[in-house]
Structure 1
Amino acid sequence: MSRQEKLERLRAQFPDWDFRWHEVEPSWHAKRKVADYVDRSAVCTEVRGTDPSEVAVFLLYVVAIEPVEQPWRRGDHDTSAMASA
């Protein structure tokens, strides 16, 4: 599989991440798109690796380690009821 095919596969599998390949090690670079974490906390926003498969495996685990979103943190909801609880 060519480098371009690997990049396309990673981009298709992880649409919220931007993937690039660099001449210097570590060659594979993944950076989370800002829109994916601008309104919530994110554990990991950038990943670098020497093997695209390892980068992909790591990204599969990112979802498992990130905090669960609180319902009252999802936008402009009224939190006054929660404050009195």
Structure 2
Amino acid sequence: FGPTHLAPVFAEMARRYPQLGIHTCYTDRFVDLIAEGYDCAVRLGHLPDSNLIARRVGPIYGKLVASPEYIKAHGSPETPDELLTH
């Protein structure tokens, strides 16, 4: 998400505001923003309660896909509940 969606935004910010220092870190790890000294974060998914200020910036769309080989070997689920056994 970061390199494809955020990097172009950061590049434009750096161009418009050359005095602004931007350092990015992309990780799947849940970062303790205060302890690790971050000023800002973009997180996807549900956020736990905290004393941080959060703003929703947009929806997250997901897709569940399977290869033809997987479907051939395991069958195609017909209902969402069947996904639990796949």
TM-score band w.r.t. shorter chain:
under 0.3
Higher strand share: 1
**TM-score where L is the length of structure 2:** 0.27
Higher alpha-carbon Rg: 2
Higher RCO (CA < 8 A, seq sep 6+): 1
Normalising by structure 1, report the TM-score. 0.27
Higher helix content, 1 or 2: 1
